Amino acid sequence: MAVQTAPTTSRGQRTLKINVTVNGAPHEVEVEARILLVHFLRENLGMTGTHIGCDTTNCGACTVLLNGRAVKSCTVFAVQADQGTVATVEGLEKDGKLHPIQEGFHQEHGLQCGFCTPGMMMTAVAFLATNAKPTELEIREAISGNLCRCTGYVNIVKSIDHAARVMREPAEGKA
């Protein structure tokens, strides 16, 4: 990984050039160091699927995958993603085919207003990559950093379980 060192200068709004691959597409953008990753995605790249729900790193609506890990993009600076990869909700669907997690949320009514949903799904995608056959408690623990006000979580748990089953048995196709 190439390392970039910025020479210190007087305090001011200097920008830095960063290279970030988002959902497989490379982007080279000049940003201030203080730009939060979530604002970089939403404003610089116009990808508004990742949402902002709080200012104290509690709600998880902003969850994306940074170098494969689910993180709260409101608590990461865009410059920290330089040379890295980011995966967002916009990248889940591939060639017109929904990701099993998206199917799961739709089939199991895992969303109502939809605002927490991208964050929930990204958390779930990363989680299911480490745990293919989770128990209900494990799913609840995995999403304990993502708040929802609409669903009461029951159907979110079912949605993730649905996706897990589909991903375990792709040949059968049906969950």
Q: Shortest Cβ distance from residue 137 to other proteins (Å)? A: 9
Residues in binding contact with other proteins, number by CB under 8 A:
91
Answer for the pair 165, 174: CB distance below 8 angstroms, yes or no: no
Q: Shortest Cβ distance from residue 164 to other proteins (Å)? A: 15
Q: Shortest Cβ distance from residue 141 to other proteins (Å)? A: 7
Instruction: Please report whether residue 32 would count as binding other proteins according to CB under 8 A.
Output: yes
When the beta carbons of 114 and 169 are compared against other proteins, the nearer one is 114
Near other proteins in 103-132, by CB under 8 A = 105-107, 109, 111-118, 121, 123, 127, 130
Q: Shortest Cβ distance from residue 71 to other proteins (Å)? A: 5
Q: Shortest Cβ distance from residue 102 to other proteins (Å)? A: 4
Phi, psi torsion values for 116, nearest 5 degrees: -85, -10
Strands (E) across the chain are located at 15-22, 25-32, 63-66, 69-72, 85-87
When the beta carbons of 29 and 115 are compared against other proteins, the nearer one is 115
Instruction: Please report whether residue 148 would count as binding other proteins according to CB under 8 A.
Output: yes
Near other proteins in 40-79, by CB under 8 A = 42-43, 46-61, 63, 69-72, 74-77, 79
- b/e per residue, 14-51, with b = 16+ CB within 10 A? eebebebebbeeeeebebeeebbbbbbbbebbebebbb
Instruction: Please report whether residue 89 would count as binding other proteins according to CB under 8 A.
Output: yes
- Give bridge partners of residue 86 from the DSSP assignment: 22, 66
Residues 110, 114, 76: CA angle, nearest 5 degrees: 110
